Structure formats: structure tokens, C-alpha cells
Amino acid sequence: MTGGLSNLSVLRRNWTEYSDPSTTHVVDVAGVRFGGARPVVVAGPCAVESYEQTLSAARAVQAAGGRLLRGGAFKPRTSPYSFQGLGANGLEILARVREETGLGIVTEVQDPRMVDQVAATADMLQIGSRSMQNFPLLVEVGRAGIPVLLKRGFSATLEEWLCAAEYVAREGNTAIVLCERGVRRDCSWSHARSEFDLEVIGPLRRASPLPVIGDPSHATGEWTRVEEVSREALEAGVHGLLVEVLAPGTERSELRCDAHQGVPEDVLRRIAEFAGTWTVPAPAEDPALGVGAPS
């Protein structure tokens, strides 16, 4: 078989240790385990915009029961004229906030040439939805040897997503957590509606032992819907959540990135409380989606 799906090492059928569909390949990130019985909540601002905002968000995450801090120093933006993130200064802020709070850091890398620089600060490297098929980036991230959060492209099939994971895994790095962040339903000139793909979680978990988390923030684009979608994602079988939070003391109108998505602190607390009492279920039987022939 050449270039086919059936030979992917990330599939259960080829990863004999995990042939039982109720098992998961646990990924440890700074002492936090993805893939166990309890869901993991990762939260933080969309972008690192200042030290004060990031520290305030981190304290809220910690107080709510979140286990890792997310926040982008390098932001993938649709328009080249939008705020692109604080870059290296953002990484420094993240490092200071980790020092201050002890929370491990999840942050995005977009450019294969910058993997070492971002990996020097990150505890987990995020591959954004738009980069899921940036193959040179996947290879470099695989070589960096630290855990990877691989978001699903917003129009990617399950096969394409697993093939992307394979690019990382074949470099010797199987510390991969997948993240469903919503798929596009329809789009017009300036606006696209997304939907959290509940249907993909069961089939994915049956196909591969890699843990999968849900991102209700980018899936909805609207903080008022994040709590409801967090519950639905957990019920569908995710091993955790990636949630954007509005830092206490920050006005939405000041934010330069995803201003409508961040949940207030009390909502994050409710989400984390629910997750804290939840047991990740075994993957559903009879997946609706098959894993067919790749292209």
C-alpha cells in the first residue's frame, strides 16, 4: 500500500497496544494528563495582548480549575492588516506568567522556521486550524519532541486530520492531542457559520487512540454559546476542552483578537466544575463515519 490510510501508525489497527477501543494513548503535558478518565480544561485569552491581561486570565483559569494556560503570541489572522500577535514579546510574557502561576503553556506556532523558538517557551505546541496541512510545519513540530495540539482544519475530513497527525508521529513524536474546533457550514462574503462537529468524536476515538479535546470557542464564535457546546462536546466523548476566557479587568472593546468569544470568569468556573465531575465515556459504538480510501 502506498500513501494509504490503512498504513497510518496512529490508527488503532496498527498500534497494537491500543487495539481495544476503550483505551487511549495518554499524553502528559507539564504533569497534566490528556486521555484519562477526567477531562482536562485548557483556557486563556485568544491572544497574549499584555502581561497584565495574560496574568489576570491565568489567575482566573487557575481559580476555576483549568489546568493549562492557552494564549497566542503568533496569531493566524485572515487579514494581513489585523493584529498579528506580540510575537517574541508574547512568548516572554507567557514565560513570566508560567513562572508566576506554575501553569503550563499551550501556544501556537505557524512558521516551520520558528518551531525551536516557540518550543523554548511552550509546554505544548498548537497547530492552528489553518495550518493543519502545512506539512513542513508538521514535520518540524514532530522533530521538536514536545507535545502537540493538532487542531482540525475547518473543512478537513477525518482522514485528512489523521494523516496530518501521522506527519507528526512519524518523526517519532506521538504526544499528540487532537482538537475539534468546528467546521464551516456555510459562508457568504464576510461571514461564515461554524458548527462543532459532534459526529466526528466517536469515529475518531474508535479509529485512533490519540486523545481528542473540543474547542467550543472557535466552534461558536460567541461566548454565550460556549457553555452549552462544552457540555455537548463532553457528552460526545472529548477528553478535554480548550476555552477562550475574557481576562478579569479587561474590556471586550479593548481586545484586538476574538473579542466576542472569551467567556467571563463565572462561566469558565461552571464549565470547569461540570468537567470536574464528568467521566470521559468509552467511544460510541457503530460510528456513522467510516474511514475510507484516502486521496
Of 35, 44, 128, 283, the one binding ligand PEP (CB under 6 A) is 128
- What lies within 8 Å, CB to CB, of 107 at 6+ separation is 48, 70, 71, 72, 73, 74, 90, 91, 94, 118, 121, 122, 124, 125, 126
How many Å apart are CA 71 and CA 68, to the nearest integer? 10
Of 12, 151, 205, 239, the one binding ligand PEP (CB under 6 A) is 151
- What lies within 8 Å, CB to CB, of 274 at 6+ separation is 230, 231, 234
Comparing C-alpha atoms, which of 103, 100, 149 is closest to residue 124?
149
Helix (H, G, I), strand (E, B) or coil at 102: coil
Comparing C-alpha atoms, which of 147, 91, 100, 154 is closest to residue 128?
154
How many Å apart are CA 245 and CA 41, to the nearest integer? 12
The verdict on 181 binding ligand PEP (CB under 6 A) reads yes
The verdict on 72 binding ligand PEP (CB under 6 A) reads yes
Stretch that binds ligand PEP, among 96-104, 124-132, 273-281, 286-294 (CB under 6 A): 124-132
In whole angstroms, the minimum distance from the beta carbon of 216 to Mn ion comes to 12
Of 21, 36, 76, 87, the one binding ligand PEP (CB under 6 A) is 76
How many Å apart are CA 106 and CA 122, to the nearest integer? 6
CB 148 within 8 A of CB 177: yes
12 or 140: CB nearest ligand PEP:
140
Q: Which amino acid is at 266?
A: D
Residue count of the chain: 295
CB 74 within 8 A of CB 110: yes
> Which residue's beta carbon is nearest to the bound Mn ion?
46
The verdict on 107 binding ligand PEP (CB under 6 A) reads no
5 or 164: CB nearest ligand PEP:
164
Residues 32-61 that bind ligand PEP (CB under 6 A): 46
How many Å apart are CA 61 and CA 267, to the nearest integer? 11
Stretch that binds ligand PEP, among 79-87, 128-136, 185-193, 271-279 (CB under 6 A): 128-136
Residues 217-276 that bind ligand PEP (CB under 6 A): 218
In whole angstroms, the minimum distance from the beta carbon of 132 to ligand PEP comes to 8
Name the binder of 181 from ligand PEP, Mn ion, none, CB < 5-8 A by kind.
ligand PEP
21 or 76: CB nearest ligand PEP:
76
Stretch that binds ligand PEP, among 21-29, 57-65, 123-131, 232-240 (CB under 6 A): 123-131
Q: Which amino acid is at 237?
A: G
In whole angstroms, the minimum distance from the beta carbon of 151 to ligand PEP comes to 5
Which residues of this protein are in contact with Mn ion, per CB under 5 A? Answer: 46, 258
182 or 202: CB nearest Mn ion:
182
Residues at the site binding ligand PEP, with contacts judged by CB under 6 A: 46, 72, 76, 128-130, 151, 181, 218
